[in-house]
Amino acid sequence: MSRLRVVTYNVHRCVGVDGKLSPGRIAEVIAETGADVVALQELDVRRARSGGVDQAEAIARELGMGNIHFHPALKVMEEEYGDAIITALPSTVIKAGALPGVERRPQIEPRGAIWTRIELDGAPVDVVNTHFGLRRWERRAQARCLLGSEWLGRADPTVPMVLAGDFNSFPRGTVCGMIRQHLRDAHQLGSPKRRRPRRTFPSNFPVFRIDHIFISRQISVVSADTHRSLLSRAASDHLPLVADLTIDR
């Protein structure tokens, strides 16, 4: 049996609720969690507004995680904005690409996903990171695409699967219901008994649970909860969600 700690974290381009831009502070929050694999959303890479820093690389470097897999949902010249999976474990990219939007409405932020396969104790585990849109019809189209034949519909059912990200969706909503037809809600399973899963947004006074980790049936949940500290309440407008998992081989 293998243990794996997964974190999903919308870092808000490393700008905290106090207006401070700091990839280093984001890395400190992640270090507090002791994560093995981190799914990050809303990263700036070489963008002028963030000082031209590659935030994915900067965070990974601070954490000593040598494998950085970044997918730009948005790219303008050399400037990129998107999502990443970072880890110290051996890993490769299976697929990275866009999710459905509306081409004739360019003001709507593009969305994407990235799927990696990590090696844990000599065996594969698939980890997918995504960030869904703000509009209901947009999220439903993105969920159908991600669960369809071009993405998770072609996954090897013998390989354990973790799907993480900011879904902008409530647990009882249609989108999470679509995903739960295939995967289980780790946060729900891993929350302490007699307590509802804690909310993730906004970080200084959480009222919405919109960040999620879903798992396949080969995976069990030891615990799952938001990471709350003085640092995490300030570093981004989301709280990180941490899941301790065991994988039965």
pLDDT grade, residue 102 (50/70/90)? low
pLDDT value at position 167?
A: 98
Give the global pTM: 0.96
Percent of the chain predicted with pLDDT > 70: 97
At position 105, the amino acid (one-letter code) is R
Q: Which residues contact 71 (CB under 8 A, 6 or more apart)?
A: 82, 83, 84, 96, 97, 112, 113, 114
The secondary structure of the chain as a DSSP string is -EEEEEEEEE-GGGB-TTS-B-HHHHHHHHHHHT-SEEEEEEEEES-GGGTT-BHHHHHHHHHT--EEEEEEEEEETTEEEEEEEEESS-EEEEEEEEE---TT-TTSPPEEEEEEEEEETTEEEEEEEEE--SSHHHHHHHHHHHHSTTTGGGS-TTS-EEEEEE----TTSHHHHHHHTTSEEHHHHHSPTTSPPPP-BSTTS--B--EEEEE-TTEEEEEEEE---HHHHHH-SS--EEEEEEE--
Q: How many domains does the chain have?
A: 1
Q: Indicate whether 106 pLDDT > 70.
A: no
| pLDDT tens by residue, 49-101 | 999 999 999 999 999 999 999 999 999 889 999 999 999 999 999 999 999 97
Domain that holds residue 110: 2-247
Residue 66 sits in a domain of what CATH number?
Answer: 3.60.10.10
Q: How confident is the model at residue 134 (pLDDT cuts 50, 70, 90)?
A: very high
pLDDT at residue number 116: 98
**pLDDT class for 178, splitting at 50, 70, 90?**
very high
